[in-house]
Amino acid sequence: MCGIFAVFNYPSDINAFRRRALLLSKRIRHRGPNWSGCEISGNNIICHERLAIVGVDSGAQPLINDDKSIILSVNGEIYNHKILRKQLKNDTQFKTRSDCEIILHLYAEIGIDAVKRLDGMFSFVLLDTNKNRFIAARDPIGITTLYQGWSSSSPDTVYFSSELKALQDDCDKIISFPPGHIYDSLTGETTRYYQPIWWDSEYIPTTPTDYTLLRKTLELAVRKRLMSDVPFGVLLSGGLDSSLIAAIATREAAKLAASEDGIEDNEVDERVVTTWTKIHSFSIGLPGSPDLIAARSVAEFLGTDHHEYTFTIQEGLDAILDVIHHLETYDVTTIRASTPMYLLSRKISGMGVKMVLSGEGSDEMLGGYLYFHNAPSAIDFHKETVSRVKNLHTSDCLRANKSTMAWGLEARVPFLDKDFLDVVMTIDPEEKMSKEGKMEKHILRKAFDVSTTGDTHPYLPDSILWRQKEQFSDGVGYSWIDSLRDISEKSVTDEQLANAFKRWSKDTPQTKEAYWYRDQFESLFPGDHCTESVVRWIPRKDWGCPEDPSGRAQNAHNSSYSKDVSSIQAS
């Protein structure tokens, strides 16, 4: 990942603006501490803060073609860049080993349709100097972050940045650029390019679960994301999702290590750093927390080189304002879960690690959150999964991206692979639902159970594969959320909460904790133009959900549905 800052059609002296642009780009340098670049063409300027992971010795950005007609700045990774190179019609000479350079040459051949061919996580801005055209695009789900801004003093000027903080002073209108879309200055329109069949929530799938396809598609998704020229690891909470990713990564890395020439696969880049002989795993929690205990057992089972970190309640509370600064949101769930991830990312970055695999996305597409137990019907269940996937860029993707990139660490999320999404989101929702004694995400669990795989060596022990869902903010230690509630009670008076609607008529905080976060957010990002990009998760009260988003607050957390592994596996 990297940081992008760009201004197109600047109304005054662009060279005089250069210093200002560099200062604004510096606000996001934590995203790309390895190098900075800046290019001016006409009245346009593109700045880049680079985190070097692939093509470390080359690939500095902005990237420019031979005749300087195309200038490109990318944040992200293009996993299919090698296969796309082979598909180019022109005899193209690549200047770098960077996976991102393919966008430049693909655009030169087929124009803005190039974005439809990309398999990866990315945001980019591109300037076509011949046509005086600039475009911007964001990956299908919004794994990477991108903001677009305007100033009423110069309405024809368009700003882009990987984070809000680089735009807040120069723009009075800012939006979170929509995932799966592309902006074209020639038309002035932002259009959707990502249009899978399941995106229409009126489409209700009826395909039965193919457990082999489910397993193999996820394995390939992990394999793609091992592409790296630098040391990497896996985030391991001990829950199902992170543990599965760790298990698959361990197996795939072992295959690569056993093969001198790498795995023969036209769809993936087999280049994987071999600095470490074992996969490194990382976990964090309060002393004795459920996640630390579970992660330890997973690491021992998989044989990873495990790194376990603890934090104190006070350390977490001290970090809240910094977390809000980096997250650029006041959403309760996101801040709760991001704080331990933010602290862990600092530790990981300090070890020289630049990339980690993470487990975001599974709960949204499979209905893994405990409130999904309350879904009134399969159709309602499916529509909620579609809605949650569509909004991942406002919550878990935002958390994973900004919590890690605060320390120059890139998080890759295999569950949000396009092919895997297409498999999961077209499964009959009746088969996904948690009913008749079935545990949440039971089809994913069953896909990797020895009863289905026939494997003599299990991916995970049953105690982990069939472990009940714990939200990350709960799993790091229940007293973490309890402490956040306690300090909110002391920081916000009853009168302040009762009159919150007078201060914030839109998106009014309903709890003292929400009020506390909103107040801190506005101290960093004052003005309505900053709050416009924030989306707060609203609980499904019509499904009986309480205001508090904690998993412990859901009835299913302490329900009496069967947890007997043998009966669940057989279902």
Question: Can 2 be counted among the known catalytic residues?
Answer: yes
Residue 284 annotated as binding site? yes
Q: Which of 2, 47, 100, 397 is catalytic?
A: 2
Give the count of alpha carbons within 13 A of 462, CB side only. Answer: 9
- Is the sign of the CA dihedral 51, 239, 485, 527 positive or negative? positive
* H helix or E strand, kind and range, residue 121: strand 120-128
Question: Within 10 A of 270 (CB to CB), how many other CB atoms are there?
Answer: 16
Taking CA atoms, 315 is separated from 310, 321, 322, 328, 404, in Å, by: 10, 12, 12, 20, 17
Beta strands in 398-482 (DSSP E): 410-412
Contact (CB, 8 A) for 351 and 408: no
Residue 239 annotated as binding site? no
Please give the Cα distance from 80 to 301 (Å, whole number): 32
Contact (CB, 8 A) for 382 and 372: no
Please give the Cα distance from 304 to 419 (Å, whole number): 28
Amino acid at 5: F
Amino acid at 505: S
Strand 280-285 with 305-310, pairing? parallel
Please give the Cα distance from 238 to 236 (Å, whole number): 6
Residue 235 annotated as binding site? yes
Q: Which of 146, 137, 147, 134 is nearest to 174 (CA)?
A: 147
Beta strands in 238-298 (DSSP E): 280-285
Please give the Cα distance from 312 to 168 (Å, whole number): 33
The tokens of 102 are what?
């393919």
Please give the Cα distance from 547 to 163 (Å, whole number): 29
The tokens of 225 are what?
């994301």
Residue 359 annotated as binding site? yes
Contact (CB, 8 A) for 194 and 143: no
Count Cβ atoms within 10 A of the Cβ of residue 16 and give its class: 0-12 exposed, 13-18 middle, 19 or more buried.
exposed
Contact (CB, 8 A) for 298 and 246: yes
3-state secondary structure of 492: coil
Please give the Cα distance from 449 to 447 (Å, whole number): 6
SS (H, E, C) 336-381: HHHHHHHHHHHHHHHCCCCEEECCCCHHHHHCCCHHHHHCCCHHHH
Please give the Cα distance from 571 to 568 (Å, whole number): 5
* Residues that constitute the known binding site for L-glutamine: 99
Q: Which residues are annotated as a binding site?
A: 99, 235, 284, 358-359
Question: Known catalytic residues?
Answer: 2
Which residues contribute to the annotated binding site for ATP?
A: 235, 284, 358-359
